[in-house]
Amino acid sequence: MTDRNNNHTFQQSLYDGESYIYKVKKSGDVFQFRMWVFAEDKHFRKSLRTKDYDEAYEKAKSLTKEIMASGISDKLVFSISVKELIQQYVAYRENDIDMITGISLKRWQTIKSQLKHFAKICGENTKLSALNKDDLYEYSAMRNKIKSAAVQTIRMEKSTINAVIKFGYRNKLIHFEYFDFKQIMIKGDMLARRGTFTEKEYRKLLDFLKIFTNIKNSHARIGNRNFKNSAVIETKEQTHLERWMIRDYIMILANTGLRVGEALQLTWGRIGNYEKHNVESEYIDGKKEQHLVEIEVLAKTSKVRKRRIFLSRGGQYFERLNERQQYTNNEDLVFSMNGTADIHDMRKRKYWEILMDGIGITDWEDRKLSWYSLRHYFITQRVKSNNNVVEIAQHCGTSVKHITDTYLHYQKQQSRTAALKSYKKNDDGTITHI
């Protein structure tokens, strides 16, 4: 594609019209370069800064090849800087403060602080087109050279950085969707314990979900949150339906032990028969009547890439979700408003902040509480109930070693309790056999 300009005093094409070198009156004898970038739908123009034809021709050839290579690798020719990307993202997140699915002012300020390290490491004036997904592979080491930080702090920074990159990718500002970070390996006694809820906190969450899903509150203020509709969920009824889905999402994660990724990729065709049973004792959700459900997790959707089929509690939540959902064909996603798109990461994040605010947990980030904590709660409840570790591992699609390593502290607590079960502790600290 060419731009027709009568001011050209000289023009010559390269590579059968892919690009051009030319002169215009206002530039005198200095050669200019022009090439149409199809992927970005506009001309790339640049002064070749030479009056010598042969030099200009060679520079133009190199530029043409470079732009062609960018197209093959999906890199952008027109690119903003790291600083500009951060500014756009921070402004974008600022608009989310106090929205129904928004973030707190404190969280927004934390995001800004975290991104200062990103800008310093990458260079705030670095063009996004110059970045590659493996540039921050050694981010932990790079970050600690600036200032030493705790492992969890660095993990949270990585999460925020990749949220920025995803934002840039969605807006066609950068050619890759996330950085590949080197995983931080923690072994032995230093194994980071998984964030989970106490039983009291989980009960508070169940109680709050009743308020959260009340249609009267779809656009009302609860606590410090303004529950108004967002750009994605446009009506009060739609907001109400999404909140009900979030409620069932929570109940299913806490009752099945499914990983977040497994749940989000679960389709209705992988939900099998239901069985109704009465149980002697309460478990997790406090209900005597339990509906067992057969769940199939495909190898391709499992973290460990192994298929498994298991019976689980929580069938009643699948049943009521199925009744409300419009899209329930075998190939439709269970947790989706349209059958094809799962709950967007950002919306899940916002809902999580609302829920934590609603039950008064202000330190949820420090405690590493997240949607994954519902699976951890399921496992810890099973461990505390003296369920067979092998059975827990098979049910959850993980190894016995992982269960014992990660949840060992609960077993130690149980052993201590069992050891003292036939004894009592006196006021003076002595222990007496009963």
pLDDT band for position 404 (cuts 50, 70, 90): confident
The tokens 């149409």 sit on which residue?
Answer: 36
Q: Cα separation of 33 and 64, whole Å?
A: 9
Q: Which two tokens stand for residue 251?
A: 């109940």
Name residues whose C-beta falls within 8 Å of residue 389's C-beta, 6 or more positions apart in sequence.
383, 400, 403, 404
Question: What's the Rg (C-alpha) of the chain?
Answer: 28
Strongest mean pLDDT among 85-99, 131-145, 276-290:
131-145
The CA–CA distances, whole Å, from 151 to 187, 313, 338 equal 13, 35, 38
Q: Is 366's pLDDT higher than 50?
A: yes
Q: Cα separation of 168 and 176, whole Å?
A: 9
Q: Which residue has the higher pLDDT, 48 or 309?
A: 309
Name residues whose C-beta falls within 8 Å of residue 290's C-beta, 6 or more positions apart in sequence.
276, 277, 278, 279, 283, 313, 315, 316
Q: Which two tokens stand for residue 122?
A: 């990458």
Whole-model pTM over 0.85: no
Mean per-residue pLDDT, 56-85: 72
Q: Spell out where 185-333 has E strands.
A: 221-222, 225-226, 271-278, 289-297, 308-312
Q: Cα separation of 27 and 12, whole Å?
A: 16
Q: Which two tokens stand for residue 171?
A: 């807006």
Q: Which residue has the higher pLDDT, 142 or 188?
A: 142
Residue among 216, 240, 249, 217 nearest 336 (CA):
249
- pLDDT, residue 229, reads 35
For residues 70 and 77, the answer to whether their CB atoms sit within 8 Å is yes
Amino acid symbol at 99:
M
Mean per-residue pLDDT, 155-159: 86
Mean per-residue pLDDT, 39-44: 67
Tell me what percent of the residues of the chain surpass a pLDDT of 70.
76
- pLDDT, residue 254, reads 93
Mean per-residue pLDDT, 161-185: 84
- pLDDT, residue 34, reads 83
Residue 172 falls in which region: left (phi positive, over 0), alpha (psi -120 to 50) or beta: left
Strongest mean pLDDT among 193-197, 346-350, 413-417:
346-350
Beta carbons within 10 angstroms of residue 347's beta carbon: 16
Residue 227 falls in which region: left (phi positive, over 0), alpha (psi -120 to 50) or beta: beta
Q: Cα separation of 373 and 404, whole Å?
A: 17
Residue among 57, 43, 44 nearest 10 (CA):
57
The tokens 């591992």 sit on which residue?
Answer: 393
Beta carbons within 10 angstroms of residue 268's beta carbon: 18
Q: Which two tokens stand for residue 277?
A: 């049973």
Least confident of 15-19, 96-100, 348-352, 364-368: 96-100
